[in-house]
Structure 1
Amino acid sequence: MNYSNLLKRIKKRLRRKRRGLSLGFLAVLIGMSLTAGIVFRLPSTEHALSGSAGQQAVSAMTGSKYAPQRQERTPLDEIVKGMSAGSRKQVSLHTVYACGEQTERLGAWSAGQIGDAYAKNPDWNVESSTGNLLTFSRKIDDLSPECKRNAYFGVDQNGNLSLFNGLPANDQVIRTFFQLNIKRLKSSLPHETVRQLYDGIRVTDLAEYNSVLSTFSDFAVEETKKVMTPSF
């Protein structure tokens, strides 16, 4: 199943619907303005695109939301100073992705190794330090290896667009994005397309992930589009 082609067909269908509505509205508006002797100018293409509701929705859910950001970093001075000569801490790195998380053990590090790693990785932050355990954290604008292997978009039991670990039928929700206008979705898209969404749309990279969000944000219930932004 080529889901890339599926998404292209959906977007093409939506563009045709919007074009038809826009041309009809424009004809009425021109007729009214001519009758009243009003002269008006159409907005530039650049402005029209920048105001796209779909672009705004995706920008709120992806993109800069998951890009590594330099945060106020917790100084390591106290942590390192508290280590006795020759002592080591068990260091781990907690990585948070646009989809999924992963924690890896980096080993038993000396104070010098900890300081060097911290200085060389500006996107790392101290997440926790307890006893001889130290955990750094970072954010990556990508899918985790597990998500690349097994992530599907689908509809949960409450009608929300959600990301699942495995097929939606297994009901293992990773993240919920927004509630879908199911009635509008079913009336606007072919039955086969709607069925594929319920069965699960496989995503293997960030581009596909963003494409699905962009496509189905057109069917989001406005209230949930505002409040159901993914946590990071």
Structure 2
Amino acid sequence: MNAFRLLVLTIFVVLVAGSISVFNSEASEGDTTNQSKSDEKKSWEQDPLELEIVLRRSYVDGQVSEETFTETIWSLEDFWSTYEDWNLVEQIEGKVVFQKEVDELSPAMKHDGYFGINQKGELTIFEGTPNHQKAIQSFFYINTEKLESHQTEELKKGIKIHSKDQYLSLLKTYEQYATQHIK
């Protein structure tokens, strides 16, 4: 009977050992599956995204301003909703460029913009008065012979731009005196 018990015990040990090795190999396969699942992080477990953001504003007066900064993005949904009023211009790895049309004068124009005539006879916007000769933008040639004398003097001294309405009004007023440049 001792031999029989020894045989049963041996078979039992072999079966248990086999079961243990099968269990361990399944467990390690399961660990691999669990490991790969843990590598796939949930959105709330992922590291934030750092992006360079460029915001371009185009103003009525033709000026374009550009603001660049780095933003930490925790949620893409929140990010896109933040810029929903902007037009996406460019999106490359690590950088997003947005643009917006602003129905207003640029800050620079409001601060120091003057209409005047440059030395060629073109209606021009200057940064400061025309005698400083720092032209920002030229529009068209003006036939100064058709202007009233006070209009010519105003343009030579410079007309300070105060508002979008005044800007558009002055353009319209002087457009009627536009002429082809004679070489």
2:13 aligned residue: none
Write the letter of the residue equivalent to 2:82. Answer: A
- Of 57, 71, 74, the match for 1:108: 71
| Residue 135 in structure 1 maps to residue 100 in structure 2 | no
1:89-129 deviations in Å (ceiling 9; x for gaps): 121211010122222246414233432234x31xx222333
Q: CA deviation at 1:137?
A: 0.7
Q: Distance in 1 between matches of 2:51 and 2:133?
A: 39
More helix by share: 1
Q: Is the 8 A contact 1:91 1:109 kept in 2?
A: no
SS at match of 1:142: coil
How far apart are the structure 2 equivalents of 1:170 and 1:136?
Answer: 34
CA contact under 8 A between 2:115 and 2:159: conserved in structure 1? yes
Distance in 2 (alpha carbons) for counterparts of 1:220 and 1:97: 23
Aligned counterpart, 1:22 = none
Number of paired residues? 133
Structure 1 residues 123-160: Cα deviation after superposition (integer angstroms, max 9, x where no partner): x2223334422221111121011110100000112111
Structure with greater strand percent: 2
Choose from 87, 112, 122 the match for 1:160: 122
Aligned to 1:199: 157
CA distance in 2: counterparts of 1:107 and 1:219, whole angstroms = 48
* Contact 1:154/1:199 (8 A) holds in 2: yes
Q: RMSD in angstroms over aligned alpha carbons? A: 2.1
Bigger relative contact order (CA 8 A; separation at least 6): 1
In 2, Cα distance between the equivalents of 1:158 and 1:129?
42
The answer for the alignment partner of 1:176 in structure 2 is: 138
Q: Secondary structure at the residue paired with 1:149?
A: helix
Distance 2:72 2:166 in 1: 38
Cα distance in structure 1, aligned partners of 2:72 and 2:178: 48
Once residues 160 and 175 of structure 1 are traced to their aligned partners in structure 2, the CA distance between those partners, rounded to angstroms, is 10
Question: Where do 5+ consecutive residues of structure 2 fail to align?
Answer: 1-45
Name which one, 1 or 2, has greater alpha-carbon Rg. 2
